[in-house]
């Protein structure tokens, strides 16, 4: 499952601290993985910070509770756009690595 949360950009330090707390815990944000994106970087609201997760439904329920008061889930339309942009970034990065390292195994 994918989910996007947002908060005001001025809360970036607070959000980052929360996301990086206890990185070795079984259900930590660091272990699950997330992406932080400034709105200006992904052509969204420049005053917002977006947090993207690809995680289990169980983890996302915990994330809802832990982010409460700091960030809130993005509206459905915004969430869809942000997810599409992040997936496109990931695909572009994978394509770039293919160009750097070449095709394996080599043909011919």
Give pLDDT tens digits for 73-91.
Answer: 999 999 999 999 999 988 8
CATH number (3.30.70, 2.60.120, 2.60.60, 1.10.10) of 2-86 reads 3.30.70
Which tens digits make up the pLDDT trace of 90-107?
888 776 655 555 555 555
Tokens of 6: 């947002």
Tokens of 5: 């949360």
Displacement of CA 82 from its chain's centroid (Å): 9
Which tens digits make up the pLDDT trace of 20-79?
999 999 889 999 999 999 999 999 999 999 999 999 999 999 999 999 999 999 999 999
DSSP annotation of 10: G
Helix, strand, coil percent values for the chain (each to nearest 5): 50, 20, 30
Domain boundaries, the chain: 2-86
Task: Decide: 82 and 74 in contact? Cβ < 8 Å.
Answer: yes
Tokens of 4: 């996007």
- The percentage of the chain sitting over the pLDDT mark of 70, rounded to a whole number, equals 86
pTM for the full model?
A: 0.84
Tokens of 68: 């409460």
């Amino acid at each position: 499952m994918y989910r996007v949360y947002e908060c005001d950009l001025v809360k970036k330090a607070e959000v980052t601290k929360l996301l990086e707390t206890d990185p070795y815990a079984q259900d930590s944000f660091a272990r699950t993985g997330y992406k932080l994106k400034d709105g200006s970087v992904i052509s969204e609201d420049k005053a917002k910070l977006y947090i993207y997760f690809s995680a289990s439904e169980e983890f996302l329920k915990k994330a809802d509770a832990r982010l409460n008061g700091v960030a809130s889930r993005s509206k459905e339309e915004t969430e869809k756009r942000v997810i599409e942009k992040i997936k496109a970034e990931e695909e572009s990065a994978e394509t770039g690595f293919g160009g750097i390292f070449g095709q394996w195994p080599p043909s011919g």
